Amino acid sequence: MFRIVFHTPEIPGNTGNAIRLAAVTGAELHLVEPLGFDLSDTKLRRAGLDYHDLAVVTVHPSLDACFEALGPGRVLAFEPDGTVGHTEISYREDDILLFGKESTGLNEAERAHPRIDELVYLPMRPSRRSLNLANSASIALYEAWRQLDFAGASAPHSA
């Protein structure tokens, strides 16, 4: 299944929501240090509800270490000024969905990393700076999963 990477996340609630997202979709969540919070933060725990034990979450000391641990797979970096829209990608189940930190996204060196295959954007209205990190990951992941016919999902049920 897909791998989500948050590079140096700053807001515990976003990561907590991403833990919940990983648990309900079967995706893996990879966090690249430094983190802007402690993993025991109450806001992170609250946002993730009781899904922490149901999600695969791995912390890596650097982006290079993360990519090495993840092995092969196409890296799609989501940035407001990306060159291809998120619905224009033909997703594969081994894709790595990379998101930068909330305040600045990926810096120039990170954007130029040789492992990054595409800079992808989510459509927004003009003059808007960015979309919430956890929401961005949800939109991207659900589009990717939709393209794979929601493989592994259960029948519909109420939330």
Burial of 47 (0-12, 13-18, 19+ CB in 10 A): buried
Reading phi first (left if > 0) and then psi (alpha if -120 to 50, else beta), residue 149 is in left
- Beta-carbon-side half-sphere exposure of residue 85 (alpha carbons within 13 Å): 4
- What value does the CA radius of gyration of the chain take, rounded to a whole number of Å? 15
- 62 assigned binding-site residue: no
By DSSP bridging, strand 116-121 and strand 56-60 are unpaired
Apex CA 75: angle with CA 122 and CA 1, to 5°? 90
DSSP H or E run through 156: none
- 131 assigned binding-site residue: no
- 100 assigned binding-site residue: yes
Q: Please state, in angstroms and as integers, the Cα–Cα distance from residue 156 to each residue in 27, 64, 150, following that order.
A: 19, 39, 11
Annotated binding site for S-adenosyl-L-methionine: 100, 122, 130
Residue ranges of the binding site: 100, 122, 130
